Structure 1
């Protein structure tokens, strides 16, 4: 929780090692030397686009920073908050809101991929150190945050979609209760929600884990 902290938008907190981190849905977080762990704060404004679409900003900032750090790596975005290398997870994002403030946290396997049962993971092979990756990501996030506030939400969603798995990709959506629904990816809404096509109908999915088939 943010509580009464004095963090200012634009500031970043970068940790070279974590001993109490967490992933999405409270999963355990593995801290590995050479990987990147950092977070920043966004203060929401009255005229901002829908807050959930801030995840699109984070995803685009992360993939564009990786583009600079490792130009030959064919990374792609996976809804809602993952960066993929093929079918393996390269990095992830976690957003947590308290009132009108959102903490945006990033974890990227720059040096070594953690071993996670039932999940494929990838890394960048230590092509860049966390200390060098941090300003790349911070610069991209600031640039795209400004664009998010000034752009048409539809256009911003399209920019995210251009870096994601293609429309028509088979996938499964897993809820926190253990239930899953299968269908095909049909794009995203301007607020960042996913469109899931199944049985000729479109479901709007606002939360869940996605597994690509």
Structure 2
């Protein structure tokens, strides 16, 4: 649709995906009842770096879901996840072709997939019923359009500041996988000016990470 000239701001929602995929081409479980939606952004020459749209999307989704979290803690995790009480509940994917970015968002409303080695959760639990995905779409589209406008008008710094205020605290212990063989640990030291993750290591040095899988390290009881 983007190749055919679909306008920025168009949203497409699926009840279920037969070929959904996650970051780095991973398979993406898509049972009914969750929200699976994509939109497209047509980049302008004056726009900040396209990769920073992950922060724009994260903010819009956090604003959308915060009232639904109740007493549970909803936070952002670099580069493109949302956590509910520290457990993944949302994934965000950006794919670019030319001057078009397709943004995909998956929200575990009714159920959470089983992912080996990774804890996931859904908003529906106990006596809290599932939320209708279609009912969230107007608010999601509105909040994303507003965040996109701020990104274009005010630039990246206020977006990153707002994102960091909604993320896990400074000093959080992180495990960062840079590839199949390289894994480093450290503490969250905030975001660089371009949105890179700043990782404080044991020797006090700070390493800037621009592409990686990041997990929060839980303290053992």
Distance 1:7 1:178 in 2: 41
Shift of 1:42: 0.6
The equivalent residue for 2:120 is: 121
C-alpha contact 2:84 2:121 (8 A) present in aligned 1: yes
Q: Secondary structure at the match of 2:18?
A: coil
The equivalent residue for 1:169 is: 172
C-alpha contact 1:53 1:192 (8 A) present in aligned 2: yes
Distance 2:145 2:213 in 1: 27
Q: CA deviation digits over 1:154-186, x for unaligned, max 9?
A: 222110000001111110111232421111111
Q: Which deviates the most, 192-201 or 56-65?
A: 192-201
Q: Which deviates the most, 121-130 or 104-113?
A: 121-130
Q: Secondary structure at the match of 1:84?
A: strand
User: What is the root-mean-square deviation in Å for CA atoms of aligned residues?
Assistant: 1.5
The equivalent residue for 1:100 is: 99
Shift of 1:127: 4.0
Q: Does 1:186 align with 2:189?
A: yes
Distance 2:67 2:143 in 1: 10
TM-score w.r.t. the length of structure 2 is 0.91
Distance 2:79 2:142 in 1: 22
Distance 1:119 1:84 in 2: 12
Correspondence for 1:208 among 200, 208, 212: 212
Where in structure 1 do 4 or more consecutive aligned residues deviate above 3 Å? Answer: 68-73
Distance 2:149 2:13 in 1: 22
Unpaired stretches in structure 2, ≥5 consecutive residues:
none
The equivalent residue for 2:135 is: 132
How many equivalent pairs are there?
212
The equivalent residue for 2:18 is: 19
TM-score w.r.t. the length of structure 1 is 0.94
Distance 1:141 1:71 in 2: 22
